[in-house]
Amino acid sequence: MILQIKNLNINYEVRNGFVNAVQDVNITLSENETLGLVGESGCGKSTLGKSLLKILPKNAKIDGEILFKNKNIAKYNEKEMRKIRGKHISMIFQDPMTSLNPIMKVKDLFLETIKSHYPDIPEEEALEMSGKILSDVGIDPIRMNEYSFQFSGGMRQRVMIALSLVLKPEIVIADEPTTSLDVIVQAQIMTVLKKLKDEHRMSMILITHDLGVVAELADRIGVMYAGHLVELSTAEKIYYEPKHPYTQALLKSIPNTNIEDRELRYIPGDLPNLVKPPKGCRFASRCPYAKSICHEQIPPDFEVEGTKVKCWLYEKVKV
Ligand X SMILES: Nc1ncnc2c1ncn2[C@@H]1O[C@H](COP(=O)(O)OP(=O)(O)OP(=O)(O)O)[C@@H](O)[C@H]1O
**Binding-site ranges for ligand X (CB under 6 A):** 12, 14, 19, 21, 39, 41-47, 57, 59, 209, 274
Distance CA 208, CA 175 (A): 7
Q: How far is the CB of 49 from ligand X (least distance, A)?
A: 8
* Shortest separation between residue 56's beta carbon and ligand X, angstroms: 8
Phi-psi region of 44 (alpha: psi -120 to 50; beta: other; left: phi over 0): left
Comparing CB distances to ligand X, the nearer of 89 and 114 is 89
Q: How many CA atoms lie within 13 A of 55 on its CB side?
A: 15
CB-wise, 57 or 119, nearer to ligand X?
57
- Provide, rounded to whole angstroms, the least separation between the CB of residue 18 and ligand X: 9
Q: Which residues partner with 158 through β-bridges?
A: none
Q: Which is nearer to ligand X, 53 or 162 (CB)?
A: 53
Q: Tell which phi-psi region holds residue 7, choosing left (phi > 0), alpha (psi between -120 and 50) or beta.
A: left
Q: Cβ closer to ligand X: 57 or 268?
A: 57
State the minimum distance, in angstroms, from the CB of residue 125 to ligand X.
37
Instruction: Find the shortest distance in angstroms from Cβ 209 to ligand X.
Output: 6
Dihedral pair phi/psi, residue 113, rounded to 5°: -65, -50
Residue closer to ligand X (CB basis): 155 or 217: 217
Backbone angles phi, psi at 111, to 5 degrees: -60, -40
Helices 123-136/183-199 angle, 10° precision: 120
Q: How far is the CB of 282 from ligand X (least distance, A)?
A: 11
Would you say 211 and 38 are in contact if contact means Cβ atoms under 8 Å apart?
yes
Question: In this complex, which beta carbon is closest to ligand X, that of residue 117 or of residue 209?
Answer: 209
Specify the DSSP element, H or E, that contains 245: helix 245-252
